[in-house]
Amino acid sequence: MSELKSYLTRQAKRVDQALRGALPRSNVRPATLHKAMRYSIFAGGKRLRPILTLAACEACGGDPEEALPLACAVECLHTYSLIHDDLPSMDDDDLRRGNPTLHKVYGEAVAVLAGDALQALSFELIGRAKPTPRYSTAALLGELAVTAGSQALIAGQVMDMEGEGKKLTKGQIVSIHERKTAALLTTSLRFGAMSANASESKLAAITRFGFALGLAFQVIDDILDVTQSSEKLGKSAGKDEAVDKSTFPALIGLERSRKEAAKLTRQAQLALHEMRLGRSRLAEIADYMLKRDY
């Protein structure tokens, strides 16, 4: 485990360095905007998604250096979506990654615009990634655009908000999790595989792995929202219950939610085994993500 920890730290640093180069410096006009973008990007995120990109690239025999622009693109997209989800008109959150949310520090207008700019930057980074024989720039662009779009990431946020105060079915909750969490986690992994020019069948297996991992990850997130403190999570805990959100713990209780997460975890592991990656770094990271308590 300590070997994995050092791998995660090393890769996170690599992503951080690439992000420092990808974002305009704080003194570039308009300075407020660029400071705000950097505030959220360098707020101490765990960099799980970009690390998945790099690890999937390695697992498919690619050079992770080539995957860095794509890794940065998913992190920018993820950060933008957190900034907008935290806005007063949406989840109205004060705390993120252990720090005050962006709108608390820079005001709402700058938070909206910094999020907008990070979405634009994530697409700009796609243009800087090297296409491979199997995966053109148009394919990489289409992948991110669909995941970022009105039927995936944004659909998830809308459905999540619309579900507040309502009793959703298990199927409806899964459908939100797929869009809100699993889609971008899967794209993170697929980007790694694509930058390694992985075969179609490998990409399909990575996709199955990503979806199971993403769903498990979200169920665990909802469990932690109930069981952990804000201090430990670095974001407001107990939020789901406060706004009467339909989650697995609310619907089927903690114990059965844990079983559900374990089932999804096994599905993820199975997908890796099919690719003979059952003992890979990717498997270790999945294990780490699903055993976390923060």
**Binding residues for a copy of itself, per CB under 8 A?**
24, 28-30, 32-34, 37, 84, 87, 89-90, 107-110, 112-117, 119-121, 123-124, 126-128, 131, 136-139, 141-142, 144-146, 148-151, 154-155, 157-159, 161-162
Nearer to a copy of itself, 158 or 252 (CB): 158
In sequence order, the 6+-apart residues with CB closer than 8 A to the CB of 152 are: 146, 179, 183, 184
Nearer to a copy of itself, 26 or 280 (CB): 26
User: Residue 34 CB, nearest distance to a copy of itself (Å)?
Assistant: 6
What is the torsion angle, in degrees rounded to the nearest 10, for the CA atoms of residue 120, residue 123, residue 127 and residue 128?
80
Nearer to a copy of itself, 32 or 228 (CB): 32
Tell which residue, 40, 52, 57, 35, has the closest CA to residue 99: 40
Asked whether 48 and 213 are in contact (CB, 8 A), the reply is: no
Asked whether 43 and 80 are in contact (CB, 8 A), the reply is: no
What is each CA distance from 16 to 19, 44, 76, in whole angstroms?
Answer: 5, 10, 11
User: Residue 207 CB, nearest distance to a copy of itself (Å)?
Assistant: 19
Nearer to a copy of itself, 146 or 226 (CB): 146
User: Residue 273 CB, nearest distance to a copy of itself (Å)?
Assistant: 34
User: Residue 157 CB, nearest distance to a copy of itself (Å)?
Assistant: 6
Cβ-in-10-Å burial (0-12, 13-18, 19+) of 83 comes to buried
Nearer to a copy of itself, 6 or 89 (CB): 89
User: Residue 260 CB, nearest distance to a copy of itself (Å)?
Assistant: 23
Instruction: Specify the amino acid at residue 185.
Output: L
Nearer to a copy of itself, 2 or 150 (CB): 150
User: Residue 261 CB, nearest distance to a copy of itself (Å)?
Assistant: 26
In sequence order, the 6+-apart residues with CB closer than 8 A to the CB of 272 are: 205, 209, 278, 280, 282, 283, 286
The DSSP element (H or E) to which 142 belongs, if any, is helix 137-148
- d(CA 12, CA 115) in angstroms, rounded, equals 22
